Structure 1
Amino acid sequence: MERDVDWFLQTGSGARFDWGPVGAQRLAADVACLVVVDVLSFTTSVTVAVESGTRVFPYPWRDDSAAEFASRRGARLAVGRRMATPASPWSLSPAALRRAPSTPRLVLPSPNGSSIAAAAGESPVAAGCLRNATAVGRWLARHGYGTPDRPVAVIASGERWPDGSLRPALEDLLGAGAVLAALRKHFDATLSPEAAAAAACFEATPDVVTAVAASASGRELDGGGFADDVAVATELDVSTTVPVLTDGAFTAAA
C-alpha cells in the first residue's frame, strides 16, 4: 500500500466517517466493522422490515436480475416507491413496508446501500439510521468497536446527481453523526476529525426532524407524495433493533 493512502483511511482513530460506496471500499479493509447509513430510505426500510421479523437481503441492482435473485432465495422483492401494487405491496418506501403484510424474506435493491454493505467483505455490517442510532451506538460499544485495535467505519450513503456522481445528503450526515455521537457517549471511542465533525453536526442541529424534512431529499419526497417516508425516517430513537448482515441478510442482532 502506498504511504499516502493511509491518510485517507483515518488511521489511528477508532471511529471513522466517510461517504458512499467508494469511501466504504477505501475504509473497509482497515476496519473491524462497518455501519451503513441511508436515512431516506435503505437503512430505515431495513430497520422497519427487520423489526417485523423479516430477513432482508440487500441487492445492488434494480433490474431484472433482482427478481431472479429473490426467486432463488424464496423471498419477496421490494419494488420502487411508485411501483407497489395490492398484489406486491413491498417497496423501497419505509412507510409502505410498515403497512405491508409481514413476509419472512425480502430482497431490497439499493445501489448505494447494498454496495456499501458489500464493501465490508467478511467484517460485520450494521444498518444505522435516525430511528435506531442510539441502539447501534450501544451495540458497537458492547462489542468493543471504536478503538484503534477494533475500528469502525460509519458510512453515509448519500444520493446521486443526474450524472451519477455522489451528492452528499444532509439526512445521511445527521444519521451517521447520531450513530457516532451515541458511540462516543457509551464508549471511550477515539473519533477521527471527520467522525467528530459528523457527530458535532448532529449534536448542534436544534431540530433534526425539521432539518431533514426541509432538506433537498426531504423536499423531493414530500413533493413526490411520500411525506410519510420522511416522517418514518425521522422517528428519532424509537427502535432498539440493530440489523446486522448475517449470511447475506440483515437480521436483528441478539
Structure 2
Amino acid sequence: MGDWLMQAGHGVRFEWGPAGAALLAKDAACLVVVDVLSFTTSVTVAVESGTQVFPYRWRDETAVVFADELDASLAVGRSKATETSPWSLSPAALRRAPFTPRLVLPSPNGSTIAAAAGGSMVVAVSLRNSAAVGRWLADRGYGTAERPVVVIASGERWPDGSLRAALEDLLGAGAVIAALRRCGRDRLSPEAAMAAAVFDGVPNVGVAVADCSSGRELIAWGYGDDVAIATELDACEVVPVLTGGAFTAAE
C-alpha cells in the first residue's frame, strides 16, 4: 500500500474499522481503539473498578472456553444478563455487577481492532477518558511523526455486514485527537484534524450521542443508562492499556 493510505508523516492519524486498523497499525507506535457504545466505555468502567478486561473477538461457545481457561467471568449480551451472570457489554450493568478480578468482554469490532495492533501499544478510549488518554500519550512522547498515534473509530455494522460510520465513535476519536492537540501534538493528518473539528464543533456531546442513530437505538431498547454513562465527558482518569492480553490501568 502507498504512503498516502497510511497517512505517513503525521504524528496523529485517524481511520475507521478493523480494515483501517489492520492497515494503519503497520506504522503505529500506539493504536487507540474507540467504540463508545459500548466496548471501550465498558472497558473504562470495569478497569476503573480494578478489573482486568480480556477482549475477545467472538460471541460464541469459544468465549465460554476462553473465560474458563482464564478463570474469568464472561460478559454476555445486554439482554442475556442474569443474577448468576450479571456482567454484560453494558456500562450500567457493569457498574451494578459484583466485582470480578478478570472479565472476558466479547466485542467483534473493538476486540478485532485491538488484535490488529501487532506489536504496537493499544489503548482503549471513550468519551469518558479521552482527555486523560491524550495527556498520558503526550507525556510519554507519542503523537509525533517518529512515534505516531493511530486512532481508530470502530463504527457499527449495517445488516449486510458492511461498516456503518457511527457518530458516537467519530466524536470519541475527535475528543482524544483534540486532547493530543491541546498537549502540543499538532502534526495531525487531515483525517485526524477533521475528526477533532467535528468534536470541537458539537455544543453538547451528550445530546448529540443520545439523538444519533446508535443512541436512539439503545434508548429504544431500554438502555438509556448506557448512553448516559458513555457521555460522561472526561469523568474518568483511567488509561486502559492492553498488556498480556488484558486491558489494565496504566501507571
Question: Normalised by the shorter chain, which TM-score bucket?
Answer: over 0.9
Distance 1:214 1:144 in 2: 37
Q: CA deviation at 1:186?
A: 1.0
1:165 aligns with 2:165: no
1:155 aligns with 2:152: yes
Q: SS at the partner of 2:53? A: strand
1:99 to 87, 90, 96: 96
Equivalent position of 2:39 in the other structure: 42
Equivalent position of 2:29 in the other structure: 32
Map 1:44-83 to 2 at 5 A. 44-83=41-80
1:125 aligns with 2:118: no
Q: CA deviation at 1:187?
A: 2.5
Count of equivalent residues: 251
Runs of 4+ in 1 over 6 A off after TM superposition: none
Q: CA deviation at 1:162?
A: 0.5
Q: Which amino acid aligns with 1:154?
A: V
1:211 aligns with 2:208: yes
Distance 2:200 2:71 in 1: 42
Equivalent position of 1:186 in the other structure: 183
Q: CA deviation at 1:189?
A: 3.4
Map 1:173-252 to 2 at 5 A. 173-252=170-249
Equivalent residues of 2:33, 2:122 under 8 A apart? yes
Q: Which amino acid aligns with 1:139?
A: W
Give ranges in structure 2 of 5+ residues lacking alignment.
Answer: none
Q: SS at the partner of 1:115? A: helix
Q: Which amino acid aligns with 2:196?
A: A
Map 1:9-28 to 2 at 5 A. 9-28=6-25
Q: CA deviation at 1:213?
A: 0.1
Equivalent position of 2:250 in the other structure: 253
Distance 1:191 1:10 in 2: 9
Equivalent residues of 2:127, 2:232 under 8 A apart? yes
Give ranges in structure 1 of 5+ residues lacking alignment.
Answer: none
Equivalent position of 1:7 in the other structure: 4
Equivalent position of 1:85 in the other structure: 82
Equivalent residues of 2:11, 2:185 under 8 A apart? no
What's the C-alpha RMSD, in Å, of the aligned pairs?
0.6
Q: Which amino acid aligns with 2:70?
A: R
Q: CA deviation at 1:188?
A: 3.0
Equivalent residues of 2:12, 2:185 under 8 A apart? no
Equivalent residues of 2:22, 2:113 under 8 A apart? yes
Distance 2:185 2:26 in 1: 23
Q: Which amino acid aligns with 1:119?
A: A
Equivalent position of 1:116 in the other structure: 113
Distance 2:209 2:48 in 1: 23
Q: TM-score, with normalisation over the residues of structure 2? A: 0.99
Q: CA deviation at 1:31?
A: 1.0
Q: SS at the partner of 1:13? A: coil
Cα deviation code 1:101-142 (max 9, x no counterpart): 110000000000000000001110000000000001011101
Q: CA deviation at 1:242?
A: 0.5
Q: CA deviation at 1:6?
A: 1.2
**Identity across matched positions, percent:** 71
2:132 to 106, 130, 135: 135
